[in-house]
Amino acid sequence: MKKQLDTERKLYTLVILVQDVPGVLSQVARLFSRKGYNIESLAVGTTDDPKVSRITIEILADENQTRLIASQLRKLICVHSVKVLVPAHAIRRELVLIKVKADTAVIRNEVIQIANIFRASIIDVSVSSLTIALIGDENKAEAIQNLLKEFGILELVRTGMVALERGQFTIDEQTKMKGEYDYGKNVL
C-alpha cells in the first residue's frame, strides 16, 4: 500500500544556512519563483560565523511541495544546510514597528496601555505620535494592529518571521552524514 502524502496547504517554515556572498539571496528567491512558490515571509541575517547567513522563509504549500523545494535548495552550491521546522518544536517571532497617531495625552495613555498589555515597547514619542516595537508571532501582531487602527496607524513595518528549534536541536545537527549535501559542490 502506498503511503499517501498530506496535500493540505499550510504554512511551512524553512531555515537555510548559506554562504554570505553577493547574489545568494537572489539565487534562493529565483528557485522559489521558478517552481511557482509564493514566499509568505522572508528574513535574512548573519549567524555566529561571519561567512554564513541564515535565511528563514515561510511558504504556503503542502508537504510534498515543501519536501521538493527543500531538496532543490540543498542542490544549490551556496547552500550549507536546509531544515523544515516542525511547528510544535519551533520558536517563531517577528519584529513589528507601528507608528500610531496620538495627538492628545488621553490618546497617548490609551496607546501606552495597549502596548503594555502586549508587552510591546514605546520606542519613540513625539507631540503627535507614538512608535511601538512588538516582538511576537503573527497572531499577536495582528491583534495589536486591530486595536490600534481606531487611533490611526501612520506607518507599520514587519521584519518577517525568524525561527529556531526549541531545545538542543540546531540546523547543524550532526545526525546527517558528513558531506551529504556537499557532494559535488567543491569541484569548481
Nearest-10 Cα torsion for 33, 38, 42, 44: -20
User: CB–CB of 151/114 below 8 Å?
Assistant: no
- In the prediction, which pLDDT does 6 show? 58
For the chain, the DSSP string reads -PPPPP---EEEEEEEEEE--TTHHHHHHHHHHHTTPPEEEEEEEE-SSTTEEEEEEEEEE-HHHHHHHHHHHHTSTTEEEEEEEPGGGEEEEEEEEEEEE--SHHHHHHHHHHHHHTT-EEEEE-SSEEEEEEEE-HHHHHHHHHHHGGG-EEEEEE---EEEESTT--TT-TTSPTTTTTTTTT--
- In the prediction, which pLDDT does 103 show? 94
- In the prediction, which pLDDT does 176 show? 40
pLDDT per residue as tens, the chain (188 positions) = 445 555 788 999 999 999 999 999 999 999 999 988 889 999 999 999 999 999 999 999 999 999 999 999 999 999 999 999 988 889 999 999 999 999 999 999 999 999 999 999 999 999 999 999 999 999 999 999 999 999 999 999 999 999 999 888 788 754 344 444 444 444 44
Which class for 132: exposed (0-12), middle (13-18), buried (19 or more C-beta within 10 A)?
buried
Give whole-number Cα distances, 155 to 43, 129, 145, in Å. Answer: 20, 10, 11
User: Which long-range CB contacts under 8 A does 112-116 form with residues at least 24 apart?
Assistant: 114/144, 114/147, 114/148, 115/144
Nearest in space to 63 (alpha carbons), one of 27, 14, 15: 14
- In the prediction, which pLDDT does 173 show? 55
- In the prediction, which pLDDT does 171 show? 82
- In the prediction, which pLDDT does 18 show? 95
The residue type found at 17 is L
- Say how far apart CA 132 and CA 116 lie, in whole Å: 10
